[in-house]
Amino acid sequence: MSNLFRGRSRGAPGRLDRELSELESQASEASSGYETQFLNRAGNLCVEAGQPARALGYYGRAIDAYLESGRFGAAEVLCRKVLEIAPQAVRARCTLAWLALGKGFRAGTRSEIGEYVRAAERAGQQELAAKQLLMMAEATVEVDLREEIARHLLHLEESEKADRVFGRVFEERNGIRPAPVPDEGKLWTKLLRAALMGPVELQQQGGLQTDEDADALPSLRREGEA
């Protein structure tokens, strides 16, 4: 057990709520990017108190804050911590897939995307997953990875969306359409926006944007957030 929890009385009536309230106050007063330490601690306290579902809310907010402040490595670490608590967590899988995509086409990228698709399928979120996959296909210049994404779309019975991805790949390979030029800045912007989208924003997203449409993506902050 870490020092954070030593001497803690989990049975003390109302103690957890009081501690969480204090941490919430500290998080709201912290400078942007520094609220994560309080959100993380709140999540840890909930886990120790045997309330993992409550912890996930705090960890999710901390992940958002890490992403918004460009601390992608910290976001990845916390996503993996979330999966230790809730292996079925779809959003953590989605964020890891986007972070892997942002690092470039590596061996782990296919694996992370595949894990996300399987988690979304188990949770009955195939439609939302299809929209994320379309944005992933648009965000990468790697032909092989886009074909892999299209196969996932076929598996999700999204044949029309899969055909759109396969069609672009075909046009590029046959010189009908120029191959996209890698732009790391745009990739990370798309990654950030996609990873922070809530279900409502994602439902409104059409997928397969053009570069000119990039600025039309939904706001980074969800409804109800300051």
For 136-168, how does the pLDDT look when each residue is reduced to its tens digit (9 = 90+)? 998 888 999 999 999 999 999 999 999 999 999
Residue 162, both tokens: 């899969």
pLDDT score recorded for residue 224: 29
Distance of CA 131 to the CA centre of its chain: 13
Least confident range from 84-98, 103-117, 122-136: namely: 103-117
Distance of CA 53 to the CA centre of its chain: 18
pLDDT score recorded for residue 208: 46
Long-range contacts of range 45-50, CB-CB < 8 Å, 24 or more positions apart?
45/4, 45/5, 45/8, 45/16, 45/19, 45/20, 46/16, 46/20, 47/85, 48/4, 48/5, 48/8, 48/10, 49/10, 49/16, 50/10
Average pLDDT over residues 2-18: 60
Average pLDDT over residues 72-95: 95
pLDDT score recorded for residue 214: 35
CA distance 96 to 22: 30
Quote the pTM value.
0.80
Give the confidence band of 202 by pLDDT, cuts at 50, 70, 90.
low
User: How many distinct helices (H) and strands (E) make up the chain?
Assistant: 11, 0
* DSSP assignment of 75-125: HHHHHHHHHHH-TT-HHHHHHHHHHHHHT-S-HHHHHHHHHHHHHHHHTT-
pLDDT score recorded for residue 105: 66
Residues in CB range of 129: below 8 A, 6 or more apart: 94, 116, 117, 120, 121, 156
CB-CB contact of 140 with 190 (8 Å): no
